[in-house]
Chains A and B, each alone.
Chain A
Amino acid sequence: GQNIDQPTEMTATEGAIVQINCTYQTSGFNGLFWYQQHAGEAPTFLSYNVLDGLEEKGRFSSFLSRSKGYSYLLLKELQMKDSASYLCAAMDSNYQLIWGAGTKLIIKP
């Protein structure tokens, strides 16, 4: 079956760095997406990886290893506004997105 695993909840300190991991098992693979979702709001796109390696976009970076079925989202210089859920989604061979349940990130002062 197809599956996405990511931690349910993480806590980090303002100004620090946090890494949110995601492992996936899909029938075929056409890329890995990360979305951010603040409580009560819509998800918004953060990143897309289809090749192995690290993609950096400001304070956020996303890494992919296709051979390991593994991705992570790295958030640097954490700010209180980064408190949100982070959703990992893998695209299978039929171009369908398989979503993880999300990781709730709590930032403490």
Chain B
Amino acid sequence: IAGITQAPTSQILAAGRRMTLRCTQDMRHNAMYWYRQDLGLGLRLIHYSNTAGTTGKGEVPDGYSVSRANTDDFPLTLASAVPSQTSVYFCASSEEGAAGELFFGEGSRLTVL
């Protein structure tokens, strides 16, 4: 049972480059989320999707975009990476649209130089 799979697990990226973090779930959950986690701060929601075909902005959406073409996949794209986007990114899903118990992927550690 895979749950949520994120790729890559770690990446070093030059500023200005485009980067897509992949997230796939096999639990058939309707809702999916992208968070970033930075030292000393709580998890911050970047974007979310309550169901396939819909997306919404979270607390820190600037510089990021998402798409939800189907139930399983929820990629996060950084159009032009900046050093402040250095972080650990977690994809999560929940069975209910109202952010019930969240299931997290293992995280993608991104360093922007």
Contacts and interface: CB of A to CB of B under 8 A. Distances in A.
Nearest to B91: A42
Interface in A25-42: 30, 33, 35, 41-42
A42 B40 CA distance: 16
Q: Please report whether the interface of chain B is mostly helix, strand, loop or mixed according to DSSP.
A: loop
Nearest to B38: A101
A81 B102 CA distance: 22
A101 B40 contact: yes
B99 A96 contact: yes
Contacts of B42: 4, 87, 89, 98-102
Interface residues of A, number: 21
B73 interface: no
Given A42-B90, A91-B99, A99 B104 contact: no
Of listed B99, B105, B107, residue having the most chain A CB within 10 A? B99
Interface in B7-24: none
B107 A97 contact: no
B6 to A, nearest CB: 9
Contacts of B101: 33, 45, 48
A84 to B, nearest CB: 14
A48 B102 CA distance: 11
7 contacts: A42-B105, A89-B43, A95-B98, A95-B99, A97-B45, A97-B102, A99-B43
Interface of A: 4, 30, 33, 35, 41-45, 48, 87, 89, 91, 95-102
